[in-house]
Amino acid sequence: MDTNSFDSGKQDRRRFMADALRTGGVVAMASAGGFLVGRRSEGEPMVWQLDPDRCTACGNCATHCVLDVSAVKCYNCFDMCGFCDVCTGYFEMNYKSLDTAAENQACPTGAIVRKFVEEKSGQRFYEYTIDEPICIGCAKCVEGCALMNGSLYLQIDHQKCLNCNECAIATACPTEAFYRIPQSQSEILKERAAAVYQARGSQTKRVIERDAEQTGTEIDQVKEAEANELLARAERQRVWRASQQKGSDSQEPSFQ
């Protein structure tokens, strides 16, 4: 899974999400995009991936993988993260203080890195990133984060996954959250995350096109490429979920 997309432009994403959370309704901004990308070609290799919307953070991902350290890792969708001081994904429920002491952290391996960003209007904001090599996919942070914005979620790291014919975690998953997806798709986003990406990508395109028109300059190609990437990711998810829904509908029992 390409983690660079999570790392790049985190500050801009945080600011965007802070505004979005305050005003609300960002999910409703999303609509079907016009980008037809991510279509898989015939014969494309398929890989395992899990749907974070169906994940219950049961912990099986950490214990049922055939690898010594699970190929399932935690990721943070910064566009959904509130950058909270009291992060329910980072801190133990009964933490003693809001610091990085091991006894205060929910993660058993200390894989979540807490970094101060800024203090604004009396509130302190922190960035939470995942030290992937020591993440074991136990989902304790995912369970805690679900109490807030739900920005932490699990995905299979395809650089580590052996792509077993019969995935032991998929077999053990109580909600059947594992799917075989085209290798080019790589990820399954939360529906909310896809909607946020769609909204931010569309907003960015409107802004750079407006700025170019007002100043008589060329469109910022870097920002345009970032916007297109977000829209493409959102569109791949829309197409995939539509295909899943279609498959589910086709299996509905007939009452005729």
Q: What is the pLDDT at residue 7?
A: 43
Nearest to 84 by CA among 151, 136, 28: 151
Element (H, E) at 244: helix 221-250
Q: Where are the domains of the chain?
A: 46-188, 194-247
C-alpha neighbours within 13 Å on the C-beta side of residue 10: 16
What are the residues whose beta carbons fall under 8 Å from the beta carbon of 233, sequence distance 6 or more?
5, 187, 189, 194, 197
CA 17 to chain centre: 14
Q: What is the pLDDT at residue 3?
A: 43
Element (H, E) at 17: helix 10-23
The CA angle 35-41-43, to the nearest 5 degrees, is: 160
Q: What is the pLDDT at residue 246?
A: 85
Q: What is the pLDDT at residue 247?
A: 80
pTM value?
0.80
Per-residue confidence of the chain (256 residues) as pLDDT tens digits?
Answer: 544 444 444 545 554 444 444 333 333 333 333 333 334 456 889 999 999 999 999 999 999 999 999 999 999 999 999 999 999 999 999 999 999 999 999 999 999 999 999 999 999 999 999 999 999 999 999 999 999 999 999 999 999 999 999 999 999 999 999 999 999 999 999 999 999 999 999 999 999 999 999 999 999 999 999 999 999 999 999 999 999 988 877 765 544 3
Q: What is the pLDDT at residue 256?
A: 36
Q: What is the pLDDT at residue 43?
A: 82
